[in-house]
Amino acid sequence: MNHTLSILWACFDTTDPLFSASELASWPAADRNWLLESGVLKETTAAAAIACPSCQDGHVEEVLELPDSNPRRFFIPCPEAVRIEVDLEHLRQWTVDLDTVASRIAAALSLTGSVKPVSPGRLWRLGTSRMGPTSREMLLLRTPDAADGASIAAHIGQTGRPIVLFAGGEPPASIWPGRTPACIALSRVLSHDGSTLQVNALLLHELVSRADDLQSQMHAIPIDPRGKKLIVRRQLKAELSSHLADSNLLAAYRQHGSMREAARALTTERGTPITKDMIQRAVARAGGAKAVMNAEDSESVVRTVASQRRDRGAKVIKTRN
C-alpha cells in the first residue's frame, strides 16, 4: 500500500488529480479497494479522450458515442482499424477527494476537534495534538507554492505554534508572514498497514521538535521594542497578582488569627494548596504579625476572604471616580 500512498501524495498537489481505469487496474487490489472504500478516490466524469488500445503509438482520440445505441456504445477513430470500440468501464475516471483525505489524516493522527476547511481545496484546520506539555494545532496545506500561497498561508496565523502538513513540495519560506511553522511531509510520517492509515508518532514528534529548534535558532536575535513592552507588561501583571495574593493571605490571617488555620481555610476555599509558610512570608512582607493585626482595615477580621476581595475591587473603582 505504501507505494500507492506515495502515488497519492505525489499527485495530491496537482490541479486535477485524475486516475484512469487502466491505472487503477494496475494497482494491487487491496490498495485500490481501500482507496475506493475509504472515499479517498471518488469517481468523476468519464474520459472524453483516450489513447488507442490497439496501436503501438497510443494515439489519443476523442471518444464518440454511437447514436441510438442501447446499451450505450462508444468508439474512437483509428487510422489502422478505422474505429475501435471502447468499453465504458475503461472510460471511468477517479479523482482525489481532498476533504476526505484531510479527515483521514486527522483520524490517523487522533487529533482533537473537527476538521474545518479554511480555504476550500487548499487549507484545512485538522485539529489539535498534544505535544509534550502543549497543545499544537495541525493544518494541511495544499499547493503552497502557487502564486497565492502567501495569502493562503496568512490564514494560518502565528499563535499556538501551528504544525503544517504537506503532501507535495515543502512550502517555500517566502509564504510565511513571520516565523516559519513546523512543516512536515505526510510521506514521512504516514504509512498504510493494509487497512488504515498509520502515523509514526515518534518520528512526527522528532521532526516537529527539530523544526522548532531550527526556528528558535533563526530567531535568537535581540527582541524588538514591541516584544520588550510585552515582557514588561507580563512582569507587571505577575507583580499585581502577587500583591493581590498577599492581601488575601493577610486577610485570612487576620480572620483566623493563626497562620496554620489561615492556610487550611485558604486551601479549602481556593482548591489549591496554600501553605503556612506562604502566609508567614506575606505577613513578614507586611511588617510582621503585630503590624498586620493592628492594620487599619482590621474590621475585615469578621468577614470572609471572598467578600473582602469584592470590597477591595469596589474601593478601587471608588478612588478612580
54 vs 275, beta carbon nearer Zn ion: 54
Tell me the closest approach of the beta carbon of residue 19 to Zn ion, in angstroms: 23
Tell me the closest approach of the beta carbon of residue 52 to Zn ion, in angstroms: 3
55 vs 295, beta carbon nearer Zn ion: 55
Segment contacting Zn ion by CB under 5 A, of 30-38, 73-81, 227-235, 271-279: 73-81
Tell me the closest approach of the beta carbon of residue 53 to Zn ion, in angstroms: 8
User: Which residue in this structure is represented by grid cell 446499451?
Assistant: 71
Tell me the closest approach of the beta carbon of residue 215 to Zn ion, in angstroms: 56
Whether 12 and 35 have beta carbons less than 8 Å apart is answered as no
Residues 76-115, one symbol each (x = binds Zn ion by CB under 5 A, - = not), give --x-x-----------------------------------
Tell me the closest approach of the beta carbon of residue 24 to Zn ion, in angstroms: 23
Tell me the closest approach of the beta carbon of residue 83 to Zn ion, in angstroms: 9
Distance CA 71, CA 137 (A): 52
Distance CA 316, CA 321 (A): 9
Assess 63 for contact with Zn ion (CB under 5 A): no
Segment contacting Zn ion by CB under 5 A, of 44-52, 134-142, 228-236, 298-306: 44-52
Distance CA 210, CA 10 (A): 24
Compute the Cα dihedral for 31, 109, 100, 12 and give only its sign.
negative
86 vs 189, beta carbon nearer Zn ion: 86
51 vs 278, beta carbon nearer Zn ion: 51
* Exposed / middle / buried, residue 7 (Cβ in 10 Å: 0-12, 13-18, 19+): middle
Segment contacting Zn ion by CB under 5 A, of 20-28, 37-45, 72-80, 85-93: 72-80
Whether 126 and 115 have beta carbons less than 8 Å apart is answered as yes
Tell me the CA distances in angstroms from 225 to 157, 158, 161, 231, 232, one per residue in order: 21, 19, 22, 10, 11
78 vs 199, beta carbon nearer Zn ion: 78
Tell me the closest approach of the beta carbon of residue 51 to Zn ion, in angstroms: 9
78 vs 185, beta carbon nearer Zn ion: 78
Assess 55 for contact with Zn ion (CB under 5 A): yes
User: Which residue in this structure is represented by grid cell 513571520?
Assistant: 178
Tell me the CA distances in angstroms from 53 to 57, 72, 214, 314, one per residue in order: 9, 19, 52, 87
Tell me the closest approach of the beta carbon of residue 65 to Zn ion, in angstroms: 18
Segment contacting Zn ion by CB under 5 A, of 6-14, 51-59, 192-200, 283-291: 51-59
Find the binder of Zn ion among 1, 5, 41, 52 (CB under 5 A): 52
User: Contacts from 85-90 at CB under 8 Å and sequence distance 24+?
Assistant: 86/50, 86/53, 88/46, 89/21, 90/20, 90/21, 90/22, 90/50, 90/53
Q: Give 178's contacts (C-beta < 8 A, 6+ positions apart).
A: 158
Assess 118 for contact with Zn ion (CB under 5 A): no
Closest CA to 211 of 172, 248, 179: 179
Size of the site for Zn ion (CB under 5 A): 4
61 vs 97, beta carbon nearer Zn ion: 61
Residue ranges in contact with Zn ion by CB under 5 A: 52, 55, 78, 80
